[in-house]
Chains A and B, each alone.
Chain A
Amino acid sequence: MDEWRPACSPAHLHLRAQILQEIRGFFSERSVLEVETPLLCHGIGTDPQLEFFTADYCLPPLQQTLFLQTSPEFAMKRLLAAGSGSIYQICKAFRNGESGRFHNPEFTLLEWYRVGFKLPQLMDEIDELAGQLFRPHRSLNAPQRFSYQELFLSCTGLNPLVFSYKEFCAYAVENHLPEAAAICRRDHSVWLDFIFSHKVQPHLGNNALCMVYGYPACQSSLARINQYNPRITDRVELFFNGIELGNGYYELADPEEQNRRFNEEIIIRQQRKLPAASKDNYLISALQSGLPECSGMAIGLDRLLMALTDSTAIDEVLSFPMRRA
C-alpha cells in the first residue's frame, strides 16, 4: 500500500544531508581530497566472509562478469600508489546476503586514507571526526580505547591470541552457548567472532565511542602485522552502544604478502564452495609500484546515522531499504 513511500522520516533525510556536508567540511579543512572510484570492477575482494553481487557486462561480442564492490578499498589504494596523497570517498558498497536490523545489502561508506599516518594517528583523527559529528546531536561519555587482547581477556578470561580448543569450548558451555563448538569447530577466527559478538561487543561504547585495536593476526584482513608483536595486527574497529561502526588498518603495502593472502582466501572460497572471486591484479601491480605508508578507515554512514538518532533498525535511516528498493 504505502510501500512506495520512503522508510525514513524527512528529518532523517535532512540529517543525512547535514552529516555529508560536515564530513566534507572536515576533510576539506585537512586538505584531504574527495575522490570517486568505480563501483563496478573486474576484480573483487576475496574475503570469504564477504559475499558480492555480480553484473553482466555486454558489449557484443564482449561478455564479462563484473563485480559490485564490497568496499572502494582497492581502487582507492591504486590512487594512493599513483601519488594522490590523502583521499576520502563517500560511496555505496554492496554486500550480498547481508540483511537485518543493522544490515542492508546496499549501504553507504565513508572511506578515507591518510598518507604518513600510523594507526595511533588514524585513531586520533577518528575521535576528532566522530566527536565533531556527534557533538551537535547528542552528548557522549568520554571515548574509550582498548587493546583487543586485554579487552577479550577481561571479558572472558580467555587469551584471544592463543587458541585452545578445550578452553574455548569450556567457556562456551559455562556461558550457555553450547552450540558454539558445532558452529566454530577448530577455526580460531570463527571462535573469536562468535565469542566477541556474543560476550564482548554488546558491552562496548555505552553512549561513547569505543575503539578496539590490535586484532589477532588471524583476523588481519588487509592490515599490517604489528612490527613488534607478530601475533597481532594493526587493525582498529569503532563501536558505539555495542554496534560496529567502522574498521581501519595501518595498510598492508607488501605486494607478495597481499598476493599470498588473496591466494589463501581464494582456496578457502573453493573449499567452502563459495562463488569464485577474481583477485584484483591491478591492486597487486599498484602495490608493486609502491603504496605510500598510510592508514585507512571505513565508517558505515547508515549505522552512524542510527547512532546519532537512536534508531533501532537501519531501515529508519534509509530512504528505500532493500525491501522497498
Chain B
Amino acid sequence: MASYSTNEFKAGLKVMLDNDPCSIIENEFVKPGKGQAFNRVKIRNLKTGRVIERTFKSGDSLEGADVVDVEMQYLYNDGEFRHFMVPDTFEQYQSDEKAVGEASNWLKDQDFCTVTLWNDIPLSVSPANFVELTITSTDPGMRGDTSGGGGKPATLETGAVVRVPLFVQQGEAIKVDTRTGEYVSRVKE
C-alpha cells in the first residue's frame, strides 16, 4: 500500500493508525509563525467506530489502508456468520456479528447494503438509509386514531423494535430510517 503524507490527508482517506484501519475526517494545518508545523487530524477508527484526535508533525506519513466499500446483497444468517454476495461477480463474503454490529437490526434477506472490506475481509456493514420491514408484533391500536401522536412499540421481522403510530397494525410493512431508527411511513402493498 502507498503511504500518504500529512499534506495528502483528506476527508475519507483510509490509513493505518496503531495497526487499525482508520478514515480521516478532518485535517488542520497548525503552525506558529516562528515554530514547528503540526497537523491536527480527526480520524475514525473503522474497527471500533471511535473518533479520536491525533497530532502529526507536518510531513510525517501514514501507510494507506486497503479499505473499500462494496455494495452487496445480504443472503442469510447461518447462526454464526452472516453471508453477503456481490451481485455482479457472485463472490460471497461471510461476516461475524461484531462486524455486522447494529446493522443486524435492519438486515433482511435479499436486501442490499454496503459492506466495508479491509484486506478483503468484512470490517463493517451499513444498511441502506431506508429499509422496508414487516411488523411481527405490536399491540392493536385504537380504531379511528390516525393522529400518530404518542405511538407504540412494534417488533419487526429482524427483531428490531421501533415506535410506530397507533393505527399501524401487526403484519403491515413499514419504512424505517436506519440512521435514526425511526418509523417513516406505511408501505402500500
Report if A and B associate in a common complex: yes
Q: CB within 8 Å of B: which residues of A? A: 47, 49-50, 97-103, 176-177, 179-180, 183, 189-190, 192-194, 196-198, 201, 219, 221, 237, 244, 246-247, 300
Q: Whose C-beta in chain A lies nearest to the C-beta of B39?
A: A100
B28 in contact with A101 (CB, 8 Å)? yes
Distance in angstroms between the alpha carbons of A103 and B53 in the assembled complex: 21
Distance in angstroms between the alpha carbons of A300 and B29 in the assembled complex: 17
Q: Whose C-beta in chain B lies nearest to the C-beta of A196?
A: B32
Contacts of B37 in A (CB 8 A): 49, 97-98
How big is the B interface, by class? 10 to 19
Which B19-57 residues sit within 8 Å CB-CB of chain A?
A: 28-38, 40, 53-57
B54 in contact with A47 (CB, 8 Å)? no
Question: Whole-angstrom distance from the CB of B47 to the nearest CB of chain A?
Answer: 19
Question: Whole-angstrom distance from the CB of A239 to the nearest CB of chain B?
Answer: 11
Q: Whose C-beta in chain B lies nearest to the C-beta of A198?
A: B55
Q: Whose C-beta in chain B lies nearest to the C-beta of A300?
A: B33
Question: Whole-angstrom distance from the CB of A318 to the nearest CB of chain B?
Answer: 16
A49 in contact with B35 (CB, 8 Å)? yes
B32 in contact with A244 (CB, 8 Å)? yes
Distance in angstroms between the alpha carbons of A196 and B58 in the assembled complex: 16
**7 cross-chain pairs, A with B, having the tightest CB-CB distances, nearest first:** A100-B29, A193-B35, A193-B36, A190-B36, A183-B57, A221-B34, A247-B33
Contacts of B57 in A (CB 8 A): 183
Which B91-118 residues sit within 8 Å CB-CB of chain A?
A: none
Question: Whole-angstrom distance from the CB of A4 to the nearest CB of chain B?
Answer: 23
B55 in contact with A179 (CB, 8 Å)? yes
Contacts of B38 in A (CB 8 A): 183, 193-194, 197
Contacts of A50 in B (CB 8 A): 34
B55 in contact with A183 (CB, 8 Å)? yes
Q: CB within 8 Å of A: which residues of B? A: 7, 28-38, 40, 53-58
Question: Whole-angstrom distance from the CB of B67 to the nearest CB of chain A?
Answer: 22
Q: Whose C-beta in chain A lies nearest to the C-beta of B34?
A: A221
A197 in contact with B29 (CB, 8 Å)? no
Contacts of B33 in A (CB 8 A): 237, 244, 246-247, 300
Question: Whole-angstrom distance from the CB of A179 to the nearest CB of chain B?
Answer: 6
Interface centre among B7, B32, B38 (most CB of A within 10 A): B32
Q: Whose C-beta in chain A lies nearest to the C-beta of B38?
A: A197
Distance in angstroms between the alpha carbons of A237 and B32 in the assembled complex: 10
B31 in contact with A98 (CB, 8 Å)? yes
B54 in contact with A179 (CB, 8 Å)? yes
A219 in contact with B29 (CB, 8 Å)? no
Contacts of B7 in A (CB 8 A): 97, 99
Question: Whole-angstrom distance from the CB of A137 to the nearest CB of chain B?
Answer: 23
Question: Whole-angstrom distance from the CB of B171 to the nearest CB of chain A?
Answer: 51
B34 in contact with A219 (CB, 8 Å)? yes
Distance in angstroms between the alpha carbons of A102 and B31 in the assembled complex: 9
Partner of A180, one of B30, B31, B55: B55
Question: Whole-angstrom distance from the CB of B69 to the nearest CB of chain A?
Answer: 28
Distance in angstroms between the alpha carbons of A98 and B33 in the assembled complex: 10
Distance in angstroms between the alpha carbons of A101 and B39 in the assembled complex: 11
B55 in contact with A103 (CB, 8 Å)? no
Distance in angstroms between the alpha carbons of A247 and B31 in the assembled complex: 13
Question: Could you list some 13 contacts between A and B, CB below 8 A?
Answer: A98-B37, A100-B30, A101-B28, A101-B29, A176-B53, A183-B55, A183-B57, A189-B35, A193-B36, A194-B36, A194-B38, A197-B30, A219-B34
A102 in contact with B29 (CB, 8 Å)? yes
Interface centre among A98, A100, A180 (most CB of B within 10 A): A100
Question: Whole-angstrom distance from the CB of B96 to the nearest CB of chain A?
Answer: 30
Interface centre among B29, B35, B58 (most CB of A within 10 A): B35
Distance in angstroms between the alpha carbons of A311 and B34 in the assembled complex: 23
CB-CB under 8 A for A47 and B28, given A179-B55, A183-B55: no
Contacts of B31 in A (CB 8 A): 49, 98, 100, 103
Distance in angstroms between the alpha carbons of A97 and B40 in the assembled complex: 16
Interface centre among B31, B38, B58 (most CB of A within 10 A): B31
A177 in contact with B55 (CB, 8 Å)? yes
Q: Whose C-beta in chain A lies nearest to the C-beta of B29?
A: A100
Distance in angstroms between the alpha carbons of A158 and B31 in the assembled complex: 21
Contacts of B34 in A (CB 8 A): 47, 49-50, 219, 221, 247
CB-CB under 8 A for A100 and B28, given A177-B55, A179-B55: yes
Distance in angstroms between the alpha carbons of A265 and B79 in the assembled complex: 66
Q: Whose C-beta in chain B lies nearest to the C-beta of A220?
A: B34
CB-CB under 8 A for A99 and B29, given A47-B34, A193-B35, A219-B34: yes
Q: Whose C-beta in chain A lies nearest to the C-beta of B54?
A: A179
B35 in contact with A219 (CB, 8 Å)? yes
